[in-house]
Amino acid sequence: MLHYLTHGTDTTKPPLMIVHGLFGSARNWNVIAKRMSETRTVIAPDMRNHGNSFHADSHSYTDMAADLSELIDALGGTVDLVGHSMGGKAAMVLALSNPSQVARLLVADIAPVAYTHSQQQFIDAMRAVNLSQVTRRADAVAQLAQHVEDKTLQSFFTQSLDVKNQRWHYNLDALERDMAKILSFPEIKGTYEGLTLFLSGANSDYVLPEHRDKIRTHFSNAKFAKIQDAGHWLHAEQPRAFEASLRAFLDYKV
């Protein structure tokens, strides 16, 4: 089963599960998860081939949705679900295949469509790091800087570096092999009728007006909102605004 972090204690509200994106981990969401845990239990899993969860040869959305379903069953059977990017696609597949497990769904800056922006360059950059020369995180950051200009991404990737054992927590081989699957969205039938919010960064182009027909085909109760001055990493760029939007969504009376 997936490794996960737990914040808060049980209340009468469903647990909130937060699912990270590609190259992320449960730890990336600690600040938001702890703040949201004031009123309910918050669960943040490490997805397969990430963090402290198991490595597997396959990294499809069917696999990832099944992993989440198994965890939700173990936690009691129903959650309010938040997923960002890759995690958002996995959350959508879960909601469509096992709708009874998802009370409400927030999809952060992703649509149920195929994209063309491969992340292969970041896998290449991490592979280029000579881990035998890494004795502290700053050593890896310095090496990554030769291939990745964005300082935020340098820091983000090295959060998933096991410095002591000189290894990445990522299963880079599996992620590279299934990159086409990660960028795509599976052909899946069904409709999720629960309340759904597609929350996007106003500066992002991941969720476009032309995606809305496809979204509404699968998510009949979809709402849309944007966070100003935020791009694809909206929860990291505008954490308080993201938190406020999430609280408003969870408290919204149907």
Residue numbers annotated as active site: 85, 173, 232
Beta strands in the chain (DSSP E): 4-7, 16-19, 42-45, 79-84, 102-108, 161-162, 167-168, 196-201, 222-227
**Cross-strand bridge partners of residue 102:** 79
DSSP three-state, residue 38: coil
Measured distance between the N- and C-terminal CA atoms of the chain, rounded to whole angstroms: 33
Query: The tokens 């509200």 sit on which residue?
Result: 13
Residue 24's nearest CA partner among 147, 122, 143, 163 is 122
Joined together, the tokens standing for residue 136 give: 């502290």
